[in-house]
């Protein structure tokens, strides 16, 4: 994370410019943990607009500069891979004076499917192409949006994640694998990896800027404006979600001191936060130092993202009552939890 603030520049963001850890402070912990000696696999279950993609790309930038080795970036489809290569990866390298120095200056330095650096290659692959996933010794593998992957990479091949991981066999003692995605269903790739593969799951614990209480932010603590006059049923109903979102009429209530946070207060609470393991509450770096895990997982909702407002989260929870599609959107894209349809028989 310290390297990022010195040498990383962000272009595909609402906040372009030099990387600042304070914008998405939770990513600093993930980036540092990724290069802890024992860690080989990092699993991130997250909502959209969270900063995960840029954070993992920063890890690749760090690897290019400080700990080089062949890189394989795996995307759900070819178009997404080509676009990310051109818009994100190449831009990351060319915008950083530190990373740009590793380009050789030849015409084929930055192709659409491969980037040739002076000391290492970076390959672009997609989940439906077994040929792009095979026959290369790889040290760093990034699996992007794994819940969008097909079940198999080809008619005669296994799943794309297994194919990609097999490429790291040569580097079995110092490989790094990132798997991240917004979840879909319980049997989806990211939820399965988080709950079955990770030895530990870390939650982000924020600190109330008013009372200092440490807590994991939960949707049950969201509050929003209601009508001032009761309806026919005698209850004061919620304002329409469109009004709540447009006029910013939602807040987060600290369960300890009952202070209502606006987005600015939420961002302060997040900046003062830290990752802790779900079972014992041990802080991330202390846990890594003592337990030395091989595979670790991180899980977070949109509540801690500086790019998603509290009123937007509240509006999504209200819209979830309107249809199954809205409910699915709320669980996947805001709670970062899998969708499960329950049928109750009478």
C-alpha to C-alpha distance for 168 and 71, rounded to whole angstroms: 10
256-270: per-residue pLDDT in tens? 999 999 999 999 999
Which tokens belong to 18? Answer: 């030099």
30-40: per-residue pLDDT in tens? 999 999 999 99
In the block, which residue shows the tokens 């997040």? 270
Distances (CA, A) of 98 to 32, 189, 247, 282: 19, 35, 43, 35
Which tokens belong to 115? Answer: 């980037």
207, β-bridge pairs? 214
- What is the structure's pLDDT at 233? 79
What's this model's pTM, rounded to 2 decimal places?
A: 0.94
- What is the structure's pLDDT at 131? 81
According to DSSP, residue 152 is labeled -
Low-confidence ranges of the chain (pLDDT < 70): 13, 107-109, 111, 154-156, 341-346
């Amino acid at each position: 994370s310290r390297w990022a603030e010195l040498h990383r520049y962000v272009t595909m963001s609402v906040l372009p410019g030099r990387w600042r850890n304070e914008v998405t402070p939770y990513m600093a912990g993930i980036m540092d943990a990724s290069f802890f000696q024992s860690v080989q696999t990092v699993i991130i279950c997250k909502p959209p607009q969270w900063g995960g993609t840029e954070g993992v790309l920063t890890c690749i930038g760090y690897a290019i500069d400080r700990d080089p080795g062949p890189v394989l970036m795996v995307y759900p489809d070819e178009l997404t891979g080509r676009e990310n290569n051109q818009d994100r990866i190449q831009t990351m390298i060319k915008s950083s004076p530190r990373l740009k120095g590793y380009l050789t200056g030849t015409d084929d330095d930055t192709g659409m499917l491969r980037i040739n650096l002076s000391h290492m290659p970076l390959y672009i692959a997609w989940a439906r192409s077994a040929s792009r996933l095979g026959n290369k010794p790889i040290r760093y593998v990034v699996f992007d949006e794994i819940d969008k992957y097909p079940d198999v990479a080809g008619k005669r091949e296994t799943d794309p994640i297994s194919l990609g991981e097999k490429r790291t066999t040569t580097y079995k003692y110092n490989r790094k694998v990132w798997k991240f995605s917004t979840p879909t269903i319980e049997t989806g790739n990211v939820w399965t990896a988080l709950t079955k593969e990770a030895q530990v799951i870390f939650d982000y614990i924020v600190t109330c800027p008013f009372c200092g209480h440490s807590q994991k932010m939960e949707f049950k603590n969201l509050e929003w404006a209601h009508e001032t006059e009761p309806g026919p049923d005698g209850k004061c109903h919620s304002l329409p979600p469109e009004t709540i979102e447009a006029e910013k009429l939602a807040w987060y209530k600290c369960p300890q001191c009952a202070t209502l946070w606006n987005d600015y207060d939420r961002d302060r609470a997040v900046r003062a936060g830290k990752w802790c393991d779900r079972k014992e509450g041990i802080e991330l770096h202390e846990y890594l130092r003592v337990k030395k895990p091989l595979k670790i997982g991180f899980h977070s909702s949109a509540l801690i993202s500086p790019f998603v407002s509290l009123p937007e989260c509240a509006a999504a929870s209200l819209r979830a009552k309107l249809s199954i599609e809205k409910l699915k959107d709320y669980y996947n894209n805001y709670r970062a939890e899998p969708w499960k349809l329950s049928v109750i028989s009478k």
